[in-house]
Amino acid sequence: MEIIILDRNTVTLEDIDFSCFEEMGDVKYYNVLPKDKLPEILKTAKYVICNKAVFDENLINTCEKLKYIGLFATGFNNVDLKAANQRNITVCNAPGYSTESVVQHTFALLLNLAGSIGKYDEFTQNGGWINSATFSFFDFPITEIHGKTLGIVGFGTIGKRVAQIADGFGMKVIVHTRTIPDNSRYSFVTKEELFEKSDFISLNCPLNEGTKDLVNDKTLALMKKSAYIINTSRGGVVNQDALARVLNEGSIAGAGLDVLETEPMLESNPLLKAKNCIITPHTAWASKEARQRVVDLAASNLKEYLKGNPVNTVNDRV
């Protein structure tokens, strides 16, 4: 049996073990490829694992023998599910593998903003402390997060874990989500209430018609001047022009972003030079532990499919 693995370099720096696939058959590995190279490589493929390679209708119909698409990801918007279903191709994602990594990164951004950690490091590295007139230099804002209100948008696995960690810091948690769970001890509020009341906002929601440009001129205008916004979900949840404008005007205190609307980042992105905006290159998910988990989970999905018991299928989410 031959297994094709695409986008290998998006999950490993040669530090991840792929033997879980090699136990099942002959594996051919490819790094990220131009779209026009995929039809030739996949013309006889039956089992393909990928991360972000785009399986649109044209490519799916070109792959005449394709039976299975596995994903090194929770998201599956890169696969045309209607076309896959028409061809009876099973598509499986990898849910939950990155929860701890994303939550850790969320709080890394939050704490960096609250304590101006990056600014103090830059000050010290540039000789500022050496030349300081006093033993302690605290010109950049430092805000205690204990007692502050954290507004969480989206209350899936990651949103729930963010709330649990916030509890440990003594934060007050409020939540805005489409589906309100039963018997939760957190306060569920409207979108407008969340933007008005929060000292920190953590975006942990999927990107869909209801959340696209959720952060926009109107919602940003509701925020406190002292408030911060953190996005580790999807870039399209934030209107980049609107956020850059309020940051540069000082209408909110800052932002921490791990995702952007277009990735890799464009040089023209207005957030690149925006004031008090921390940007990381979509790394929240990418701890070594999470990357190994996603590879192991993708392999487990394929094993179950081959046994006739497919799990984590997304074919019905059209």
Q: Which residues are catalytic?
A: 234, 263, 282
Query: CB within 8 A of 58, min separation 6: which ones?
Result: none
Strand partners, 71: 50
Please state the φ and ψ torsions of residue 29, each to the nearest 5 degrees.
-105, 140
DSSP H helices in the chain: 19-22, 38-42, 57-62, 81-86, 99-115, 117-125, 157-168, 191-197, 217-222, 240-249, 288-306
Cβ neighbours of residue 30 under 8 Å, at least 6 residues apart?
4, 5, 6, 7, 8, 41
DSSP 12-74: -SS-S--HHHHTTSEEEE--S--GGGHHHHHTT-SEEEESS--B-HHHHHH-TT--EEEESSS
Separation between Cα atoms, residue 276 and residue 256, nearest integer Å? 9
- Which ranges of 229-278 would DSSP assign to H, the alpha helix? 240-249
CA dihedral 150, 152, 157, 160 (to 10 degrees): 40
